[in-house]
Amino acid sequence: MKLIVLACLAAVAVAAKLEDRVVTLLRDDRVANEDGTFSYAVQADNGINTAVEGVVGSAGQINHQGSYTYTLEDGTQAVVTYIANENGFQPQSSILPTPHPLPAHVFELLEIAERQRAAGIVFN
């Protein structure tokens, strides 16, 4: 019980600091259609900018396509574009982490494994 009370007090303290910041919306355009499709674009004076469009997907779901932009600590703009559809959420941006490149020997091992698979060699 004490942990819950402590967590609530911490949340209130954090929220109190965030309330001091006032953000003005410069643009707020929204369209919601009866078939579930939609679009919206929101722009704030703090550099946050987002635009999303929702269209009907192949299985009747609503697929999303859009982007959002915000200002990084160094003053540059971070832009993330994305698609969310039957294949999941697929973001693209220069700020997203990327895996380390594979060493050259790994490509050679993958080629060997493919040749063995094609020859019918199976390891149990």
What confidence tier does 53 reach under pLDDT thresholds 50, 70, 90? very high
Phi, psi (deg, nearest 5) at residue 116:
-65, -40
Tell me the domain boundaries of the chain.
23-118
pLDDT above 80 for 13? no
**How far is 83 from 8, CA to CA, in rounded Å?**
35
> Is the Cα dihedral 54, 67, 15, 6 positive or negative?
positive
Give the pairing of strands 49-56 and 38-44: antiparallel
**Which neighbouring-strand residues pair with 82?**
66, 91
Q: Could you list the beta-strand ranges (E) of the chain.
A: 25-32, 38-44, 49-56, 62-71, 77-85, 88-92
Q: pLDDT tens digits, residue range 111-120?
A: 999 999 999 9
Q: Which two tokens stand for residue 99?
A: 């895996």
Chain-centre distance for alpha carbon 84: 9
Q: pLDDT tens digits, residue range 65-86?
A: 999 999 998 989 999 999 999 9
